[in-house]
Structure 1
Amino acid sequence: MHPSKITLIIGLPLLLSSLLPGCGSDGGGSANTSTVSVYLTDDLAGYESVLITVNAVQLQHLGGNRLCTIIPGPETMDAAQLGRDQLLDLVNTTTCEAGSYNRLHIELNQNVTLVDASHQTQSCKFVSYRDDAGQPNALGCTNGMCALDLTGAVNLVAGNHEHVALDADLKQFTVDLTKTPCEVTLKLSPLHAQGMDDKMAAGYRKSVNGYVSSLDTATDKFTLTHAGRLYAVQYSGVTDQPGLDALLTRAQADSLKTQVRCENFNTATTPPTCTAQTTGNQQLKAVTVKARGTVSGLDTPTAHTFILNYPVGKTLAVNYQTAFDLNNIEGILVNDGIVATGLYGFAANYQYRLR
């Protein structure tokens, strides 16, 4: 059975880092290195879902021996979802040799999955990309892997913590449906300092994913572990997620991946500190706990509830009435079907995202 992807806004009863001159930086790294944090983001377009897999990203110095892998990959992102949720999603933090670089080398999977506004899924392939002038150029693809090289002066300052954002601009994606499989031209580019500032001014925020530990519900703090690194999270200002303490307790006990949208992300502290956002215009709440499993006990006509069964031997009772009311369901819920959930709280009729 193939897993179905479902996007819902639902209720829950019971228990249920510097690329290019001018990017922001702060202290970090040693005298001969620079710490680099890299994020994925997008500009929104008319797709429900655009699944892209980035296999590797490197900073390179042509003519020299300097090279630093900033995304070892693979990292799969839903570029359309990042746009709706207005996220700069942290995917890796690493240490690079300080000095100048002049190329960004990107490797990505040739396959891309599109879901349109009618929830129809199309399996397409990347065939070309748009340069800064908007002109299409053929991608070099071999055995399902495509490579893209972006040139530009990059300088990593010794001792600094620099930030990279890789932007998938869906507004400049084009899809040729006359070909089989359908062919996609993409626009993928680094964000300059002004570009990152513009994103933040428009409401985008940095986010970090990981696993919860050291939860202290008295002080509203916990630790997230992401790719072997620790991040401190402060969520005392989050007031629109009833039962959040109970949700985080469940996340810690069951090792459920948790995402936090940061109003402020301070990499000058040890460990770096994410202060969860208190308000925002996007649907995504500040803290989301993710659980993937199978559906049972589906009650569609009346209560709009089901039981989520996830490893090992765990269950959650789910109410998706709100998602039904908003017509925000992607795919079809069926008993024994696979669904991925994003939980926002432990409270009757509380909203959270189910994907």
Structure 2
Amino acid sequence: MPQLFLAVLTALSATVLLHACGGGNGDPTNSATVSAYVTDDLGDYDSVEFTINTVQLRHTGGRTCEIIHEPLAIDAAELGHDQIVERVDTTMCEAGPYNRLHVELGEDVTLRRTINGQPTTDQCKFVSYYDDNSDRPNRLSCANGVCSVDITGAINLVAQSHEHVALDADLKEFTVDFATTPCEVTLKLSPLHADDKLSVGYRTSLSGYVSDLDETYDHFVLTVDGGTYTVQYAGVTDQSGIDTLLGRAAADRLKTKVRCQTIDNGTTPPTCTAQSVATQTLKTITVKAKGNVSALDSSLQTFTLGYGGTTLLVNYTKATELGKLEGVLADDATAEVTLYGFDLDYFLAREVEVTAGSGGN
């Protein structure tokens, strides 16, 4: 089996990048800024989906710092296919030694494979894990749909310095027992250096909100947790109507994700150069919107999404092609869409997840 990486545990691979500098939490000279990222390596699965609920740095003496604060849904296989390191969160932590990562993740994991040309979906459960000190799997502690695990390893945050720490979940020892119902998943967890991924060409993904859009010179400001970036997107050549999509993201304050081919930290603010690459599965820039479905036309694969007193027209043909239509679409359902472009009056969706209502779960 191949190996998956996920920054800060994502039960398939974790990469926690720690950027230490002064500021916050009492004494500014005795704190570190911790940025958490997720990524993975290529896998045999078309999709490996699960949720990280929280990640904390901990020390036996009582020092703790939460570095992922909110539930984060991950498709580990997609990140690996496009070699993405996804920045998740930025937090001020007390400088000093920590000796473990405490991770809580959703018990459910969805595996999608292609078998004999046919797509197959398996709804599995995380049950156990390996660490560097065990030859046999350790049982995960799971209750009420949440599993917790403590990963031992020295993590030292030095004030006013730059630290990189990673946690790897190795899919070479990622196993699935399909003989049980539901199927049971075991993974391998161990710490490593995040630089190992960045140094071999993995791109960084940033999520935030668009402002100061300049369609003439193809740039905008992206405000993320912990700061801002200037995004240059002239190199995004495979997304029709990208200016219209970005304009809507700015006007409606929709969460926008940008995959940076390079980041120049020598500018103020840092500059992310967004660029299409030949074989990428994921789009360089995507925008999320969540609202109520109406005027559904299943034959044309279109609907109207209403949110915040406004509406937008959605074409979800690409989501269907990619197998990224989750749940049953219906009028009055609530759905979250991931948009990548605009064409002929419709915003183009590559993912649609029905979350509530007539077609919800």
CA distance in 1 between counterparts of 2:66 and 2:18 reads 19
SS at structure 2 position matched to 1:256: coil
Taking structure 2 as the reference length, the TM-score comes to 0.76
SS at structure 1 position matched to 2:77: helix
Q: Deviation string for 1:163-220 (max 9, x for gaps)?
A: 444444445332223323332212344442453246x43xx31101122223232343
CA distance in 2 between counterparts of 1:102 and 1:147 reads 16
CA distance in 2 between counterparts of 1:331 and 1:234 reads 32
CA distance in 2 between counterparts of 1:83 and 1:148 reads 23
* Partner residue of 1:74 out of 71, 95, 101: 71
Contact (CA 8 Å) 1:18, 1:161: kept in 2 or not?
no
Taking structure 1 as the reference length, the TM-score comes to 0.77
What's the offset of the Cα at 1:314? 4.1
Count of matched residue pairs: 328
What's the offset of the Cα at 1:128? 0.3
Q: Please list every run of 5 or more consecutive structure 2 residues that lacks an aligned counterpart in the other structure.
A: 1-6, 10-15, 24-28, 353-361
Equivalent residue, structure 1, for 2:230: 232
With 224-233 and 38-47 compared, the bigger mean Cα shift is at 224-233
What's the offset of the Cα at 1:254? 2.0
Contact (CA 8 Å) 1:44, 1:170: kept in 2 or not?
no
Equivalent residue, structure 2, for 1:247: 245
Equivalent residue, structure 1, for 2:92: 95
Equivalent residue, structure 1, for 2:218: 220
Contact (CA 8 Å) 1:38, 1:70: kept in 2 or not?
yes
Q: Please list every run of 5 or more consecutive structure 1 residues that lacks an aligned counterpart in the other structure.
A: 1-16
What's the offset of the Cα at 1:248? 0.3
Q: Which one-letter code corresponds to 1:125 in the other structure?
A: K
Equivalent residue, structure 1, for 2:355: none
Q: Which one-letter code corresponds to 1:32 in the other structure?
A: N
Assess, with a 3 A threshold, how the Cα gap between structure 1 residues 268 and 37 changes in structure 2: closer, same or farther.
farther
Q: Which one-letter code corresponds to 2:295 in the other structure?
A: S
Asked if 1:342 corresponds to 2:341, the answer is no
With 48-57 and 268-277 compared, the bigger mean Cα shift is at 268-277
Assess, with a 3 A threshold, how the Cα gap between structure 1 residues 88 and 175 changes in structure 2: closer, same or farther.
same
Asked if 1:354 corresponds to 2:359, the answer is no
Equivalent residue, structure 1, for 2:159: 158
User: Which is bigger in relative contact order (C-alpha 8 A, separation at least 6)?
Assistant: 1
CA distance in 2 between counterparts of 1:278 and 1:168 reads 28
Asked if 1:310 corresponds to 2:310, the answer is no
What root-mean-square deviation, in Å, do the aligned CA atoms of Structure 1 and Structure 2 show? 3.5
**Identity fraction in percent:** 52
What's the offset of the Cα at 1:93? 0.7
CA distance in 2 between counterparts of 1:163 and 1:275 reads 22
Q: Which one-letter code corresponds to 1:234 in the other structure?
A: Q
1:266-281 alignment, distance < 5 Å? 266=264, 271-281=269-279
What's the offset of the Cα at 1:69? 1.7
Contact (CA 8 Å) 2:207, 2:256: kept in 1 or not?
yes
With 343-352 and 279-288 compared, the bigger mean Cα shift is at 343-352
Asked if 1:196 corresponds to 2:192, the answer is no
CA distance in 1 between counterparts of 2:317 and 2:105 reads 38
What's the offset of the Cα at 1:135? 4.0
Q: Which one-letter code corresponds to 2:148 in the other structure?
A: A
What's the offset of the Cα at 1:124? 2.7
CA distance in 2 between counterparts of 1:53 and 1:243 reads 31
CA distance in 2 between counterparts of 1:280 and 1:134 reads 41
